[in-house]
Structure 1
Amino acid sequence: MAILLTGVAGFIGFHVAQVLLERGDEVIGIDNLNDYYDPNLKRARLAQLEGRKGFKFFKADISDSAQVTEAVAGSDIRRIVHLAAQAGVRYSLVNPEAYIRANVLGHTVILELARHLPKCEHLVYASSSSVYGGNTKLPFAVEDRVDSPVSLYAATKKADELLSHAYAHLFRFPQTGLRFFTVYGPWGRPDMALYIFTKAIFEGRPIHVFNNGDMQRDFTYIDDIVNGVIRTLDNPPAPDGQGRPYRLYNIGNNKPEPLLRMIEVLEQAIGRKAEKQLMPMQPGDVKATYADITAISRDVGFAPTTPIDVGVPKFVDWFRRYHNQV
């Protein structure tokens, strides 16, 4: 069975591809290897996959339907894991067009591809906890209203959910959206706080702690995320009361941690203290995230097992090896 995986050189995509290949699936990976963050990290991830049985890679931009169509030509694709996107809340203030192109147009290209595939069993796509925007009720539940985004990135992810709902209604192919909550771990993204803090501490530079440290995040370890993605992929949604095979899940650790506690765990793993510079809240940011995972736990058996006391040291161990730190 062939599985199309977009964003295969990205953080989550790389780890999902590894597990799919290990269990014997054929993976057709697409990525444009853009320079939003260091492409060398993306190429290093890709190097771990290339040459493995069942893996094919195509450099393609998901917003270009011709490139995507060419990449999948002749493949018997049954499932799609669509993770490619323009990530990052703060960068959306600088380059909004990149988010419309990748996240809205790109998502539409994948939807069009899926609806014309004769044997598409399930499309799983990445949404984000950012869609909860200015919501103050915790934990965030999939039933909550999400019509108050506080960043362009969040708005594009909500647009993806609406587009997918419309396609499920019109064309009846199964889809599941996953709202990811602060994913971290080995091979993680350099634009995320854990990576930024770790690099700064090793280099003896201060770290910027926003909202004066009064923040909480539902930090979710990559292995738990991958387990949830695979479980979801293997369990397509049944049609609802109106015949739509569509659902949304939160996928998080279900345990928000104070940012300052995460920094303490990081300091212990590195063996050095951080010099903290307390800063005001960044535009587009939110104070707290907390995933209600009742639905995904009930439906597919998702059960995260990795606290930050375990996951953060694993990230630091990888960081040391990758960057030759002592």
Structure 2
Amino acid sequence: MAIKVLIVDDSPLIRGLLTEILNVAPDINVIGTAEDPFDAREKIKQLNPDVITLDIEMPRMDGISFLKNLMRLRPMPVVMVSTLTAEGAPATLQALELGAVDYVSKPKNNVAEALTEYQFELHTKIRAAALAKIRSNAERQKAVDSTPHFNASKYTFKSDYILAVGASTGGTEAIKEVVLNLPTHCPPVVVTQHIPPMFSTSFAIRLNNTAAVTVHEACHNQKLEPGHVYIAPGDDHLTIKKTALGYICQLDKGPLINRHRPAVDKLFSSVAQATKGNATGVILTGMGADGAQGLLEMRQAGCPTIAQDEATSVVWGMPGAAVQLNAAQFVEPLNKIAKKALMSACKR
């Protein structure tokens, strides 16, 4: 059965381009388009799509307002189609908070090579969205409220210890849930999330404004400190290096790995080599297999390793691949991962 897609965008040009690009795939079928949320509401009732692509800026009602109503009344997979700029980042990140599965940039009718890459990305994200686990706002809030309470302030952590986290699809919200449960004296945390360059800064700022720990977009040669989280900038690989002064962040624009820069595999591999077992690896929701091999390297180096379970993952691609490789020592629901990671970093 082909994946049924409804395109919601006020631009006839964008609706036409998206339809043309999606219908190239044999397993994807655009069953309709809508010019605004009011039109979309009727088309959803009539056509019962599997996935919606949703513009953010539209007349009569913006995409964020429509998404809020949709996730409350009829939760379903949504891929945001937005302008990937620094100015547009907060709205797109808000859409992910509200339950959108993923986002892509607006298509551009330009050179064939760029259009081919865009086609691959859009097809991949529509397929992932069709398989994603979608929860209503109430269900997601209930999951947060049911997080087991633990007093992390009483923990004493090993010195020179690191927590390394990797994620992709659904990862911004999963990372947030983990980070919000970290105490101010926790080991340094390094994070690779597949994210565009103009979004990583906004993501770090949003996390820093809500977490007890201090969250940075990582800088080259930045020293890792307890109680701080370092997020890989979009379009830069993040690795760590041990020096006489302690661990430092290293950034580079080396080749894409698993079609990604930053890549989780590269971060985990560097942590395995630099810490010699004095770290915990965590792989969260995401499509593909990036991070699975790196997590295996961490486990083989003596590091405790944790994968998010299938039931709480938006897409169980990356953690599922890690489990298949026997790279994950523990498989945990999202609301128990912070505690598990912290316990593994405790002095015995």
TM-score normalised by L of structure 1: 0.37
- Taking CA–CA contacts closer than 8 Å with sequence separation of 6 or more, which of the two structures ends up with the larger relative contact order? 1
Q: What TM-score, normalized by structure 2, do the two folds share?
A: 0.35
Q: Which of structures 1 and 2 has the bigger CA Rg?
A: 2
